[in-house]
Copies of this chain bind each other. A is one copy, B any other.
Amino acid sequence: MADLKENDIHLALIHYPVFNKIGEIVTSSVTTLDVHDISRAARTYAVNSFYVVTPLKTQRQLVERLIEHWMTGYGAEYNPTRKEALLATRVTKNIKETVQDLAERCGQKPVTVATGASQFPNSIDYPSLREKIGNGKPILLLFGTGWGLEKSILAEADYVLDPIDGVGEYNHLPVRAAVAIILDRLLAR
């Protein structure tokens, strides 16, 4: 793996502010399965880092314990592919802290790209975003849990990625499936 050139692309899984089923703004719970599935997809497509973002301290501690369990000791030995997937997984409090952390790590602020199920004035399509990858600026993709990212995040992001259009009207993919499809569209050779 030492020779793997990582893409300058980063993911953030946002647990606040997101919508719930009836359109209220809530903090969703961290799902450990999302952390494992998205870590594996991120590793498969050589994503540089994956941030699990929640304002709840106990939930951040849960994810830190989960990462520690699989990185060291029995977990690492029992399931090395899970360990490897979690190498790039980090925990932050909010989007601002995530952007700051990335700016420090990369030496410049990332271009932020929100994802969602609708079109917006700042929407960008897949080929256009694909072209921006590797152009010298880090890219941070924002994914919402629950019923999706609160509107202000979409408005403040540099871009909103086009929705994944399936075939019919149905548009209720789990976030872990949406991440897998979007990484494949943006990064597959």
Contact = CB atoms under 8 A, between A and B. Distances in A.
A43 to B, nearest CB: 5
Interface in A166-189: 166-174, 176-178, 180-181, 184-185, 187-189
Interface stretch (A12-20, A33-41, A57-65): A33-41
A134 to B, nearest CB: 12
Contacts of A45: 166-167
Given A181-B180, A184-B185, A185-B184, A166 B46 contact: yes
Interface string A145-164: 00000000000000000001
Interface residues of A, number: 36
A131 to B, nearest CB: 17
A81 interface: yes
Interface in A71-126: 81, 84-85
A44 interface: yes
A168 B4 contact: yes
A41 B177 contact: yes
A97 B7 CA distance: 44
A18 B30 CA distance: 31
B176 A188 contact: no
A22 to B, nearest CB: 12
Contact of A180 (B4, B43, B172, B177): B177
Given A37-B177, A41-B177, A174-B37, A166 B188 contact: yes
